[in-house]
Amino acid sequence: MSYGGGMDAREKILEAATELLAGASAADVSTRAVCEKAGVGAPMLYRLFGDKAGLLAAVVDRGFERYLASKRAARPSEDPVEDLKSGWDNHIRFALEHPSHYRLMYSPELTVPPAAAQEAHDLLHGILERCAAEGRLTVPPALATQMIMSANVGAALSMLTRPEQYTDPTFSQRLRDAVLDAVTRPADTDLPRKDHSVPVAAATLAARLRADLPPALTTAESALLQQWLDKLSER
């Protein structure tokens, strides 16, 4: 089937690629098949997307748009750690409800990094900056972002590709809590845990300075202070 009507060429190609990828791996779907299904010529596809990798990245961004739109619109709660938990659960839910798009996001064929992946990373990092500013992180926000995102993605892909091995309905929540317990601390703790006192204090001050830089510091002084605090927060 080819696409006609009011759809422009870009949407026709993206729709065709999405349908073809729903039942096959990225390696099995050719640009020729996409063009035939969309009813457009190959020059049009390459003009719009550059190559197959560019097309695949655009398919991912299109598929993740609704998910990211909901995250952009979400209002922060009073507890950023609870926001981390909600974000983890929403990520897993999206992966299980949209397996084709999610697998494609991490396919070896996807040599062009999709904008959706970077935006999801940035949104998570923003929540962790809030955690750090409130003294809730035991590691720097950048490291916490890597740890949480890696675990979240790993859990989602494991559940998608090996469902017969991941039958425990509490698996995702158990992993989530284990990871968050490793990088965060309770809100009602007045003082940092003894073994993390300096790193927590450094990460907290660094986040607060990034959010509200004192005008008394020059650009060079601010950069140097951030460098020192980052080193101390990694102890």
Structure tokens belonging to residue 106 = 């991490």
Which parts of the chain have pLDDT scores under 70?
Answer: 1-7, 188-196, 235
Coil vs helix vs strand at 137: strand
Radius of gyration of the chain (CA): 22
Q: How far is residue 23's CA from residue 170's CA, in Å, rounded to a whole number?
A: 29
Coil vs helix vs strand at 64: helix
Structure tokens belonging to residue 32 = 């020729």
For residue 115, give its domain range: 51-183
The answer on 92 and 18 residing in a single domain is no
Please say whether the beta carbons of 55 and 45 come within 8 A: yes
User: How many domains, the chain?
Assistant: 3
pLDDT recorded at residue 189: 56
The answer on 225 and 115 residing in a single domain is no
pLDDT recorded at residue 5: 47
pLDDT recorded at residue 186: 87
Please say whether the beta carbons of 85 and 176 come within 8 A: yes
The answer on 100 and 40 residing in a single domain is no
The answer on 56 and 44 residing in a single domain is no
The answer on 79 and 173 residing in a single domain is yes
Please say whether the beta carbons of 196 and 135 come within 8 A: no
pLDDT recorded at residue 7: 66
* CATH (domain of 38): 1.10.10
pLDDT recorded at residue 207: 76
The answer on 122 and 95 residing in a single domain is yes
Q: Is residue 135 part of a domain?
A: yes
Helices (H), 77-196: 80-97, 99-105, 115-133, 141-161, 171-183
pLDDT recorded at residue 190: 53
Mean pLDDT of the chain, nearest integer: 86
